[in-house]
Amino acid sequence: MVQRPKQGVERFALGVTRWVGSLPSIVLHTFIFLASFSAVWLGILPFDRMLLVLTTVVSLEAIYLSIFIQMTINLTSATIEEVGQNIDEIQEDIDEIQEDVDEIQEDVDEIQEDVDELQEDVEEMTEEDKEEEAKQAGQERTLKEIHAGLERLMADIEKLQKHS
């Protein structure tokens, strides 16, 4: 967010509106009003003159406060508008990131499918290897049985040759 430097009047307006809404401002205004009415009560000022001065001061203060408050509102509105634009840009970025995340999730799903297929292939190969091992073991047993049978046959033939 690009912020322009605040001008002196804008800084002053912000400071005044901040101060007017504070406890010291209430105390000061209360003191001024009490002092004004006390001046009449003590006979320092006539009532009409005190009211004229107080009314004039309060009116001028109200005019300037309303101007400063409006300046503050304008500055705040501009800031809110900038924040709104930034929020819109951030939302666009979030939407793009969500699309990227969705694409990545699709890729992960495809990879998981490939892994599952590879796992099935490995299991099939393992089963085929077991079947092949069982077949070889059966062939070896058969060969051993044939070999044992031939040895017995050869032994019988030798016995027959010796007896004949």
* pLDDT of 31 above 90: yes
> What percent of the chain lies above the pLDDT cut of 70?
96
Amino acid 1: pLDDT: 44
Name the residue with higher pLDDT: 56 or 145.
56
Q: Could you say which DSSP state residue 4 is in?
A: P
Contact 65, 10 (CB under 8 A): no
Amino acid 6: pLDDT: 61
Residue 74: Cβ within 10 Å count: 12
* The dihedral sign for the CA sequence 134, 139, 143, 145: positive
Identify the band that residue 27 occupies on the pLDDT scale cut at 50, 70 and 90: very high
For the chain, which residues make up each domain, given as ranges?
8-117
| pTM of structure | 0.50
Q: Can you tell me the distance from the alpha carbon of 72 to that of 17, in angstroms, rounded to the nearest whole number?
A: 7
* pLDDT of 3 above 70: no
Query: 49-73: per-residue pLDDT in tens?
Result: 999 999 999 999 999 889 888 888 8
Question: Which residue intervals of 7-46 are DSSP H helices?
Answer: 8-20, 23-41
